[in-house]
Amino acid sequence: MNATRHIFLDKQHPAVWRAINGLSLKVKEAAADAGIDAKTLELLNVRISQINGCAYCLDVHVKDALKAGETQQRLAVLPAWRDTALFTDKERGALALVESITELPAQEIREQEEGFARGCLTEEEFSVVSWVAISMNAFNRVSITSHHPVRRDR
Tens of pLDDT, residues 116-147:
999 999 999 999 999 999 999 999 999 999 99
Containing structural domain, residue 86: 35-146
Give a yes or no: residue 12 inside a domain.
Answer: no
Q: Chain-centre distance of CA 115, in angstroms?
A: 20
Q: Is the pLDDT of residue 3 over 80?
A: no
Burial class from Cβ neighbours inside 10 Å (0-12, 13-18, 19+) for residue 23 reads middle
Domain membership of residue 136 (yes or no) is yes
- pTM as predicted: 0.95
Number of domains in the chain: 1
Q: In 96-130, which positions are buried (b, 16+ CB within 10 angstroms) versus exposed (e)?
A: bbbbbbbeeeeeeeeeebbebbeebbeeebbebbb
- pLDDT at position 68 is 98
Reported as a single tens digit per residue, the pLDDT across 40-90 is 999 999 999 999 999 999 999 999 999 999 999 999 999 999 999 999 999
Does any domain span residue 78?
yes
As separate numbers, helices (DSSP H) first and strands (DSSP E) second, the chain gives 8, 0
Task: Give the CATH number, domain containing residue 52.
Answer: 1.20.1290.10
Contact indicator for 74, 44 with CB cutoff of 8 Å: no
Instruction: Say which amino acid occupies 114.
Output: E
Contact 41, 132 (CB under 8 A): yes
Residue 95 included in any domain: yes
84 in a domain, yes or no? yes
